[in-house]
Amino acid sequence: MLTENLGSIFPISLIIIILSFAIKNKVDIFDSFRQGAAEGIECVISILPAIVALITGVTMFKSSGAMEIIEYFLKPIVSLTKFPVECIPLVIMKPISGSGSNAILNSILISNGPDSYVGNLASIISGSSEAIFYIVSTYCGASKIKNTKNIIILSLIAFACSIICSITVC
């Protein structure tokens, strides 16, 4: 009962606490809100080109059939290991697109079941990794970082480690 009510009470309580703190410290609430909204709009405008480019690239990647070509060439190599071929699309898509990889995870869970080895492995891979290119383009675009080569290389190494650890855990 308490946890059900806590979800509806918490946001209202947080707003009351913030407003009380602002009034106590004599902060102009409307001016602070307006300033924060203006900074938010500036941030959106600065990262918008990177997001549009990434969405365009992901759409082109999906529509071009590149996923199937990569999957075709990786199947013989992956079949030599304990890694299930059903998870290849997830591993290819996860660094590129979070929503695309969630759709792939959903289809893996529907076709193999959530309690299967493939379902468990796909869930762990999805939960222990991130959409690298989306994160790098968004955050580096917002903070105006131009040289992202090392960030991407280290992120892909961490992604490979998460896959290895996922296989080990399963």
* Predicted pLDDT of residue 19: 87
Per the CB < 8 A criterion, the answer to whether 166 and 102 are in contact is: no
* Predicted pLDDT of residue 3: 64
**Structural domain of 137:** 48-169
Instruction: With respect to residue 114, please indicate whether it lies within any of the assigned structural domains.
Output: yes
Q: pTM above the 0.75 mark?
A: no
* Statement: residue 1 has pLDDT above 60: no
Buried b (16+ CB within 10 A) or exposed e, 23-44: eeeeeeeeeeeeeeeeeeeeee
Instruction: With respect to residue 81, please indicate whether it lies within any of the assigned structural domains.
Output: yes
pLDDT tens track for 73-96: 888 888 888 788 889 889 988 998
Domains in the chain: how many in total?
A: 1
Of 124, 85, 89, the C-alpha closest to 104 is 89
* Predicted pLDDT of residue 11: 83
